[in-house]
Amino acid sequence: MFSGSIPALVTPFLNGGVDKKAFAALVERQIAGGSRALVPVGTTGETSTLSTEEHKNVVTLCVEVAAGRVPVIAGAGSNSTEEAIDLVAHAKAAGADAALVVCPYYNKPNQEGLYAHFKAINDAVALPVFLYNVPGRTIVDLMPQTVAALAGLPNVIGIKDASDEMERVVLHNQLIKPGTQFIQLSGEDSSALAHRAMGGAGCISVTANVMPEACAAMHAAFDKGDLEVARAINQKLVLLHRAMFASPSPGPAKYALSRLGLCREDVRLPITPPDKAARAQIDEALALAGASA
């Protein structure tokens, strides 16, 4: 149910608010392009600068537009456990299939605190949860031993790992109780294929915003055992993966989508649009990848 290419959707803006029409069109494009699930209001969706009302409205809209055609994994993280529980509860009420819950940022909890945070969410809401480990943004690192302990909870079904340490896929498998179904998704486009080779199930992707068909095709080729095709697609996308972080995300993704005529490039402060040099890098990567609307 949760595998392959899964876009971390941008949240398009218009006149300072959420552009619902553009967002709905992006969802339709992702489904038509072969994406296997959708992640609204994650990091790429600028959740940190959406109001709570906007956050919840985007989740609801995503579920409504998807209409059961693909699963929706709703971003629902916060550095406040109480707020995270509220967001997960809303995701369930809205009809999302799972929630993506990031490690608490800024607070710098230890492993005991991280376990207690996720357990409180598990105990409060009966909705499947993906842990989200991204040490570069949260400072804290959800260690494999803690992941293994959390995998024993009934509602924790997997992890999006953006540590970019490939060996963690194997470490998690070694530490998690045999027979436990635990889905490992990459959070790094540039190493997504390597993550699959180590035992991962897919990637929650930034690049898929721009080229959903190519990202989906790479994972499909891997699933069929056609590594030559998967490698060729990955080679085609590698510069675009890098360009998506030529300036703070999701600025590059939104600029690329604006170049394709799919949404405005507007971002919310403190994120600013890509500068001239970053735009040139993104334009070149788009051309080399053969991106089109």
Q: Point out the residues that are catalytic.
A: 132, 160
Q: How far apart are the first and last CA of the chain?
A: 27
As a whole number of angstroms, the distance between CA 150 and CA 159 comes to: 10
Residues 49/248, Cβ–Cβ less than 8 Å? no
Closest CA to 250 of 189, 196, 193, 292: 189
Nearest to 211 by CA among 43, 33, 22, 62: 33
Bridging pattern class, strands 98-102 and 73-75: parallel
Closest Cα partner for 197 from 187, 206, 186?
A: 186
Question: How many alpha carbons fall within 13 Å on the CB side of residue 186?
Answer: 26
Paired with 133 in beta bridges are 161
